[in-house]
Amino acid sequence: MSIKLFFPVLLSTLVIISCAVRPKGEFSQASAPPAPNYADMNNWAAHPDKNDPADKTPIPELKSVGNDAPVDVLFFYPTTYTGTKRYENQWNADVKDSRINKKTDGSAIQFQASIFNGVGRVYAPRYRQAHLNVFYNKKKPASNKAALALAYTDIEAAFEYYLKHWNQGRPFIIAAHSQGALHAMNLIKRKIEGTNLEKQLIAAYIVGWPVPENFYDHFQPCREPDQTNCFCSWRTWNRQYILDHKDDPRIVDGIVCTNPLCWNTKEGEYVPKTENLGGVVNPFEKIYPEIVDAEIYRGLLLANKPKFKGSFLMTRKNYHIGDFNLYYMNVRENARQRTNAYFEE
């Protein structure tokens, strides 16, 4: 099945089982693309001073708050460097690669980062993302680790540049998916938890990557829809598939999972699709109310098969690429709810 029939070319970590084009040889720092200069607006996929896809809304009734918002949102996008083209054969993507940037902007920035334009100014740094193959390649563990470490250095550099030049003490939200969520998870632990910045962090949406329950020293999962200074995380799978494959190695106990329809972490609490305010799949200019339900099971978010135009062709059981999109409107509303609670506090 074409991914375009499901979600809009939103290729992200753990979506493709194998890649046609893989990185050549071993990772080499000397051959890595140059580090981005975050003073250059071209190195931001989304920025308040740019007109970019993160400013879009699927319907006119939804409004982007624009530069007057008192809140910032830092969004770290998922893997779009997937090995689907001949030139995608390096360990890390070059932020100056216009083809990768176009793919990123038309997928993750428009369909995911735009969720948060209802509450804040959206910043999304381009970074030297690791090739998708690093998540499958078991023969070169050192190179996999090095490529991911290089990608993280850009995330941290972008965050520090943002703090120095644009934050000015403003509260902020961190949102990320897949590889971006892996980097966000580490960024929070290394640069935010236990510092004064933790008080400015309204909430984090670390989606599409498993976060162990004991990963942070004290930074807690969100257990209420209006809780602040906390994080949400989920990975979405077809309900029946997981219940029929309870020995699947991807089912790991001790992983945080948030239900994005009720915003708690209670396992076994089924929330029907009537509580889903709407998903955004393909095309972008349409919202599908009641697209899917949600229930937590052993660190995973289980959902029945989504219903939208063309969904009868869908056979995929891992709904990873739709982690945000299936719950687009609920996440958008929850970001507003947590932001309001933050200012009330």
DSSP states along 284-335: SS--BTT---BEEETTEEEEPPP-STTGGG---SB-GGGTTGGGHHHHHHHH
User: Which region holds residue 95: left if phi is over 0, alpha if psi is between -120 and 50, else beta?
Assistant: alpha
Report residue 26's pLDDT band, with 50, 70 and 90 as the boundaries: very high
Question: What is the rounded CA–CA span in Å between residue 294 and residue 272?
Answer: 7
Q: Are 235 and 257 in contact (CB under 8 A)?
A: yes
Q: Residue 7 has what pLDDT? A: 42
Question: What is the rounded CA–CA span in Å between residue 325 and residue 320?
Answer: 10
Question: What is the rounded CA–CA span in Å between residue 262 and residue 270?
Answer: 9
Which residues have C-beta within 8 Å of that of residue 73, sequence separation ≥ 6? 113, 116, 117, 119, 120, 121, 122, 123, 172, 173, 174, 175, 335
- Residue 264 half-sphere exposure, CB side, CA atoms within 13 Å? 8
The answer on pLDDT for 11 being more than 60 is no
Question: What is the rounded CA–CA span in Å between residue 319 and residue 326?
Answer: 9
Separation of CA 195 from chain center: 24
Span 37-58, pLDDT tens digits: 999 999 999 999 999 999 999 9
Cross-strand bridge partners of residue 288 = 279
Q: Are 62 and 3 in contact (CB under 8 A)?
A: no
Report residue 6's pLDDT band, with 50, 70 and 90 as the boundaries: very low
Q: What single letter denotes the amino acid at residue 288?
A: Y
Report residue 315's pLDDT band, with 50, 70 and 90 as the boundaries: confident
Report residue 309's pLDDT band, with 50, 70 and 90 as the boundaries: confident
Span 216-250, pLDDT tens digits: 999 999 999 999 999 999 999 999 999 999 998 88
Please state the domain count of the chain: 1
Choose among 120, 26, 129: nearest CA to 77.
Answer: 129
Report residue 122's pLDDT band, with 50, 70 and 90 as the boundaries: very high
Choose among 116, 190, 205, 203: nearest CA to 160.
Answer: 190
Span 128-172, pLDDT tens digits: 999 999 999 899 999 999 999 999 999 999 999 999 999 999 999
Q: Residue 2 has what pLDDT? A: 31
Q: Are 4 and 319 in contact (CB under 8 A)?
A: no
Q: Are 48 and 213 in contact (CB under 8 A)?
A: no
Maximal CA-CA distance, the chain: 54
- Domain span holding position 152: 3-344
Q: Model pTM greater than 0.75? A: yes
As separate numbers, helices (DSSP H) first and strands (DSSP E) second, the chain gives 7, 10
Cross-strand bridge partners of residue 122 = 73
